[in-house]
Amino acid sequence: MARLEAIVIGCSAGGLGALEPLLRALAPPLPLPVIVCSHSAEPGTGLLGPLLARYARLPVREARERWPAEAGTIHLAPAGYHLLIERDRCFAYSVDEPVHYSRPSIDVLFESAADAYGAGLAGVMLTGASPDGAKGLMRIRQAGGLAIVQDPAEALASAMPQAALDQAGADHCLPLARIAPLLNELAHRE
């Protein structure tokens, strides 16, 4: 496959519990950006970032509008806005309608990231109780990128990974504990 250039991660219900061990296991130096869209981001609280920063070994920052996605950094979608990534790999925001009642939406991030990174993108779907993200994951695969889905059987909420599997399929369907090691390996593969 093509050299990996970015990782996008989507999660909803139960997401914090899944992100913790996953981000903890992503090992620096990571030569690419990780971009996370979590529905659990409550407008105005901004608690997710500081929480994850306590566990992640990479710096965690909110993705800033018009700023580039940076290698070795975990970028979080802001609460109340859709996060998109442009072809020049800079972040863009939108306040378009919520998708499956969610803003930020995983579909919106994944679809724009698929356009920006093409075959150089890995999309990761974790636990959640929404069909959001399934279309985006399909777009990633259609653009030649890699789809990784948490095994619905062990996800706290199985609906989201299951919808992703049903609509998009996956290159890897794995228990959570095996996702970070795979990403570490892919990130360093030439």
Please say which residue, 25 or 116, places its beta carbon nearer to another protein. Answer: 116
Three-state DSSP at 140 gives: helix
> With CB under 8 A as the contact rule, which of the stretches 3-11, 89-97, 122-130, 151-159 interacts with another protein?
89-97
How many helices (H) and strands (E) the chain has is answered by 6, 9
59 interacts with another protein by CB under 8 A = no
Tell me the closest approach of the beta carbon of residue 154 to another protein, in angstroms. 26
Range 136-165, binding another protein (CB under 8 A): 138-139, 141-144
102 interacts with another protein by CB under 8 A = no
Please say which residue, 4 or 147, places its beta carbon nearer to another protein. Answer: 147
Tell me the closest approach of the beta carbon of residue 58 to another protein, in angstroms. 23
Please say which residue, 138 or 165, places its beta carbon nearer to another protein. Answer: 138
Q: Residue 21 is which amino acid?
A: P
Element (H, E) at 37: strand 34-38
Distances (CA, A) of 153 to 26, 126, 171, 173: 23, 12, 17, 10
Is 12 in the active site?
Answer: yes
Q: At residue 82, what are phi and psi to the nearest 5 degrees?
A: -75, 145
Tell me the closest approach of the beta carbon of residue 28 to another protein, in angstroms. 27
* Contact flags string 11-40 toward another protein, x per CB under 8 A: ------------------------------
What is the rounded distance in angstroms from the CA atom of residue 190 to the CA atom of residue 186? Answer: 8
Tell me the closest approach of the beta carbon of residue 57 to another protein, in angstroms. 27
Burial class (CB in 10 A: 0-12, 13-18, 19+), 54: exposed
Half-sphere exposure (Cβ direction) of 36: Cα atoms closer than 13 Å: 27
| Catalytic-role residue among 38, 39, 82, 107 | 39
Is 132 in the active site?
Answer: yes
Q: At residue 91, what are phi and psi to the nearest 5 degrees?
A: -80, 145
Binding residues vs another protein (CB under 8 A): 65-66, 78, 80-81, 84-87, 92-97, 108, 111-112, 114-116, 118, 138-139, 141-144, 169
Positions marked catalytic: 12, 39, 132
